[in-house]
Amino acid sequence: MDKQTLSFQAEVKQLLHLVTHSMYSNKEIFLRELVSNASDACDKLRFEALNNNALFEDQPNLEVRVSFDKAARRIVISDNGIGLSAQEAIEHLGTIAKSGTKEFMGKLEGEQAKDANLIGQFGVGFYSGYIVADRITVESRRAGVAITEGVRWSSEGTGDFEVETITRETRGTDVILHLREGEDEFLSTWKLKSIISKYSDHISLPVLMRKESWDAQKDENVVSDEWEPVNKAAALWARSKSDITDAEYKSFYEQLTYDTTPPLAYTHNRVEGRTEYTQLLYIPAKAPMDLWNRDKRGGVKLYVKRVFIMDDAEALMPTYLRFVKGVIDSADLPLNVSRELLQESRDVKAIREGSTKRVLSMLESLADHEDAAEKAKYAAFYKEFGAVLKEGVGEDHANQERLAKLLRFASTHAEEGVSFADYVSRMKEGQEAIYYITADTLAAAKNSPQLEIFKKKGIEVLLFTDRVDEWMLSHLYEFEGKNLQSVAKGAVDLGSLQDEEEKKQAEVAAEGFKPTLDRLKTALGERAKDVRVTTRLVDSPACLVTEEGDMSGHLARLLKQAGQ
């Protein structure tokens, strides 16, 4: 292919603009992104080579090399991974394929555009090179193709890029950054090394740099021809727990997620038995923007015997735990496992069940912790992810009880943090059911006339205001043998909580109001199933209730809003 000039996709231009203009205060992340691409490319080669060993050519050791040329003011990030064909270079470096990217940029428009932290978390990718470079040249050859099939891609990162076919001996990719004026600080072994160990210490292959040594004659450091690893290059999860510090766990989390807020909790275990695997799972402190997208794949990476297999292996975690991040490394799965196979594998089922239990125990130990600071972490967790946990109540029957214990609500006694267990411990003498009401807002719930009799008698009522609550309640009928009873449904039977006096009053009233009730029934006709006298009101003259077993008024309104 002769040299041709092509134009970037519109979204790429937008992303380039965003990245180069708002990431300046955090510019060193370019190296994290490019090293991570190099490492991904090696993972991809390893994966494709499972079915075609010839792809390794004569270089079976996968590695990333970072070097610089002071005089030419260039940095080169080089890998011997899968490489790019000309077509792939055009597609992958000129358009945005990642589905979430466009959506993400849309959200960043306006006010948020300056939030570098958000962009950093998202992973800005290849284009981050333009934070420090005014031209990037990529030279590459895909593994397994002829040396005459190499490609050179080059661009100043503005409107267009050039591509041409080249001859290239070595497999893999060189990304050559031509530094902008004023970015010479990156032309230093020390500087580059420190960025690599900050962001890329835990990637599972070696990142090499040229050894530097002191030259007494020249009175300065000189770069030798010898390469040395500058990262640990050991998959953290494969190391023994006792050798890993809290700081290492946290820095691994940051490398894994780009989230600079430390995780709330993590768990690291080697599980032995019929299925063998290692899990390193984290609970983030903050919910991602797309938490409510249930189609979003989870945050757990799958490895098989330390070989990376896939990102976001959704089969490894139930949907309601999609916020969990981490790594699962299986000793049993075949290396060529596909997403489809994962869905059916019994080993995967065992891994999912085991990991779910681990996450739940992690949450339980936060929730029940004696230490107030740990307990506060649970409250923080719940604020971010509580509503998602509720999905599990309906989806995960095996763990329903454990999940129910983890839920926290508002009630007529406390604004937040009320658990079912708290509620039960405050139940009145003779009270049999757990009472609740659902509404759109806390204020609406609190002011509901249906609560009057409960307030008068000092009986606590749980106030459910999350959208998912109605759905959850259609799957949860009881807690520790106590029925959940909506105060807005049916004839609230206060049972033995009602004294004789009140019962009698109700009977008398029912008799006295009979003509009124009859007239109301006739007037309302089809629109009301029944009209009856109630003891549940104290101040209000009337209220609407739905029949036991019917859709609640609140749910009916939600469905109507949703156009159903």
Question: Contact residues for Mg ion (CB under 5 A)?
Answer: 37, 125
Is 175 annotated in a binding site? The answer is no
Question: How many Cα atoms sit within 13 Å of 194 on the Cβ side?
Answer: 7
Q: State the minimum distance, in angstroms, from the CB of residue 79 to ligand ADP.
A: 5
Indicate the length of the chain as a whole number: 564
Which helix (H) or strand (E) covers residue 150, if one does? Answer: strand 150-155
CA 206 to mean position of chain CA atoms: 28
Strand runs labelled E in 239-353:
265-271, 277-283, 299-304, 307-310, 325-330
Task: Name the residue number minimizing CB distance to ligand ADP.
Answer: 125
Contacts of 437 (CB under 8 A, 6+ apart): 445, 448, 450, 451, 461, 462, 463, 464, 486, 487, 488
Which one, 93 or 492, has the nearer CB to ligand ADP?
93
Would the annotation count 125 as a binding residue? Answer: yes
Q: How far is the CB of 191 from ligand ADP (least distance, A)?
A: 21
Taking phi over 0 as left and psi of -120 to 50 as alpha, with beta for the rest, 178 belongs to: beta
35 strand-pairing partners: none
Q: List residues binding ligand ADP (CB under 6 A).
A: 33, 37-38, 40-41, 79, 81-84, 92-93, 98, 123, 125-126, 173
Residue number with CB closer to Mg ion (129 or 288): 129
CB of 253 to ligand ADP, least distance (A): 18
Distance CA(405)–CA(479), nearest Å, equals 9
Between the CA of residue 335 and those of 78, 134, 260, what are the distances in Å? 26, 41, 32
231 is in an annotated binding site: no
To the question of whether residue 392 is assigned a binding role by annotation, the answer is no
CB-nearer residue toward Mg ion: 33 or 201? 33
Note whether 487 and 554 are within 8 A (CB).
no
| CB 126, min distance to Mg ion, A | 6
Residue 79 touches which of ligand ADP, Mg ion, none (Cβ within 5-8 Å per kind): ligand ADP
Among ligand ADP, Mg ion, none, the one that 387 touches (CB under a kind-dependent 5 to 8 A) is none
**Hey, what amino acid is at 420?**
F
Q: What is the largest CA-CA distance in the chain?
A: 113
Our CB check for ligand ADP shows the closer of 92 and 413 to be 92
Residue 36 marked ligand-binding: no
Question: CB 174 → ligand ADP: shortest distance, Å?
Answer: 8
**Is residue 339 annotated as involved in ligand binding?**
yes
Q: Which is nearer to ligand ADP, 92 or 239 (CB)?
A: 92
Q: Which residue, 29 or 362, is less far from Mg ion as judged by CB?
A: 29
Q: Is 79 annotated as a binding residue?
A: yes
Does 329 belong to an annotated binding site? no
DSSP lists the bridge partners of residue 229 as: 208
Work out what residue 63 binds among Mg ion, ligand ADP, none; the CB cut-off runs from 5 to 8 Å by kind: none
Nearer to Mg ion, 198 or 405 (CB): 198
Place of tokens 């050991």: 234
Smallest gap from Cβ 40 to Mg ion, in A, equals: 6
The answer to whether 59 and 345 are in contact (CB under 8 A) is: no
CB of 97 to ligand ADP, least distance (A): 7
Query: Which residue ranges are tagged as binding site?
Result: 33, 37, 79, 98-100, 121-126, 173, 339
